[in-house]
Structure 1
Amino acid sequence: MSTPLNAVCLQGFIARNVQEHGGLGRRERVLLAIAADTGVGAGSVLEADVRGALAAGVLSLAELREVALHLSAYQGYPRAVRLDECITRVWEALVREHADVVEEAPGAPAAADRSPAEVYAEVVRRPLPERDGRFHRAVNEFVWGELWNRGVLTFRDRRVLSLVSTALAGHEMPLRIHVTGALDSGDLGPEELEEVAVQFATSVGMPSGQLLARVVEEESAGIRKQTDAM
């Protein structure tokens, strides 16, 4: 059923600026949408995006489960559980419909065995700060020692999920760390990050997307300035 919202927004601006626009691959756009949907509690939209990802073979069941696990650290356990429950419902419905869906990801990256300090340096592109205390030990153990060490998803995948989650939280410092890490590593370039900002804004609202867009612009300009000075 067509509605004014579908006609004006979904078939207009979103189609032109997200679905039909270049700059990001379909996989990254689906990951971004699912992370944003999870963060804002968009139940029916989240279910539609999960179903589309599985039905089209963009993400396997194993990859979607890994997305939920990654988001448990970046968005919180309750939101990750809701996503995981959504994945289960959609998967079971597709099986009942005899849909041809993929369970395991072909050629998925293998799990690594690196220390939290090694993983942090690879992701953030700087040494792990020497800080004590229960909170920092928990972060080092779960985020850097476990999540980013796991296989199934690539670093590029995890960067998209982390960027969306830190932007949703609205905290500039961790967001800036993830933007600079993506740029320094080459996992995501300036134009790709601009596309992330545009799609993120369409999912959560332009005012909320402004912080991500500003950080991407500033960090990209800083890298261009360094390159020109060399």
Structure 2
Amino acid sequence: MDFLDPLERTQVGSDVGTVVIARALDGPATPIEASWRDYIFAEIWSRPGLDRRSRYFIAIASAASSNGPVDVLDDYVRGALTCGDLSLIELREAALHIAVYAGWSRGVELDRSISRCAETLGLIPAAFAPIRGEPWNPQERVQQGIDEFNAVMGFPGPPPVTPFFEAGIDNFVFGEMWKRSALDQRSRRWITLVGVSESCAPTPIKTHFHAAMASGNCSAKELQEFVLQYAVHAGWPKASIIQGAVIAMIRNFEAGLGWDA
């Protein structure tokens, strides 16, 4: 039997962590501090199952949604900008996206972190496209949202029969936000998966994980890896719910079945 060297694991964690958060890791003074280096960075961030850009989206969205220490969120944002894995405008767009799926308070939390890190790094403010820059017909916007929902989710969007569906889902979420070009669909998908996972709402969880595969945005193996990355900030009990849903949706998808089969 081969044995793994704890000193090697510590070195890997130190090396990976220094890159991920763009600063040298402090020598741990407590077990929780040591676990960041020797487990989260050494054994999760170093895994080959997800590209680093995707891990940043998952980690940033999870940290923003967990109402945890702002310095943890700042570490991720600074690291993503320093590595060049995410641009300033992509992060600004991510803040808008997480606002929809985790609440505007969480979106503001991320947006303020981005501002702090951008100022520290001396970055020029990023220009952004208006939420909508041209006049529109309200009925056409509803239909555009329904069509975009179909493209993203793989089944028809909800009819505008309530304010939530009309003004929320059809008009803004899919009629405007998902159509914005500053983030590609795969990136938006990771943020969305964190948001629906945080909700613990069975239908959004099942539909979005199934759609992640049906759209080609994510592979089954990547979704399995997502659960572990998400667990860092959500905790293992909440992530276990998502693990069960992922297994079920992979089974349905590979059998050619819908999310509700």
TM-score where L is the length of structure 2? 0.77
1:199 aligns with 2:229: yes
Query: Do the aligned partners of 1:172 and 1:211 also contact (CA within 8 Å) in 2?
Result: no
2:159, 2:166 within 8 Å by CA — same for their partners in 1? no
Give the residue type in structure 2 aligned to 1:210.
S
Amino acid at match of 1:12: D
| 1:211 shift after superposition | 1.4
Aligned to 1:123: 152
Count residues with an aligned counterpart.
215
The alpha carbon displacement at 1:103 in A equals: 6.6
Q: Distance in 1 between matches of 2:87 and 2:216?
A: 25
Structure number with greater Rg is 2
2:161 aligned residue: 132
Structure 1 unaligned blocks of 5 or more? 96-100, 106-110
> Match of 1:146, SS?
helix
1:18 alignment counterpart: 44
User: Per the alignment, do residues 103 and 19 of structure 1 end up closer, same or farther by CA in structure 2, a change over 3 Å counting?
Assistant: farther
Q: Alpha-carbon deviation of 1:22? A: 1.2
2:227–2:239 CA contact under 8 A, matched in 1: yes
CA distance in structure 1 between the partners assigned to 2:76 and 2:42 by the alignment = 18
The aligned runs of 1:1-230 (5 Å cut-off) are 1-3=27-29, 4-7=31-34, 9-42=35-68, 43-95=70-122, 115-139=144-168, 140-226=170-256
Distance 1:104 1:192, change over 3 A: farther
Q: Does the aligned pair in 1 maintain the 2:96–2:107 contact within 8 Å?
A: yes
Computed over aligned residues only, the root mean square deviation of the Cα atoms, in angstroms, reads: 2.1
Q: Is the 8 A contact 1:54 1:102 kept in 2?
A: no
**C-alpha distance in 2, partners of 1:183/1:102?**
37
- Tell me if structure 1 keeps the 8 A contact 2:40–2:232: yes
Distance, in Å, in 1 between the alignment partners of 2:152 and 2:124 is 29
Contact 1:179/1:219 (CA < 8 Å) preserved in 2? yes
CA distance in 2 between partners of 1:50 and 1:131 (Å): 37
CA distance in 2, matches of 1:57, 1:179: 28
CA deviation after TM superposition for structure 1 residue 131, in Å: 4.2
- Residues 63 and 104 in structure 1, CA contact (< 8 A), matched pair in contact too: no
Secondary structure of the equivalent of 2:256? helix
Q: 1:102 to 1:49 in 2, by over 3 A?
A: farther
SS where residue 213 of structure 1 aligns?
A: helix
Normalization by structure 1: what TM-score? 0.87
Query: Counterpart in 1 of 2:17?
Result: none
Alpha-carbon distance, 1:86 to partner: 1.1
Unaligned 5+ segments in structure 2 are 1-26, 128-132, 134-140
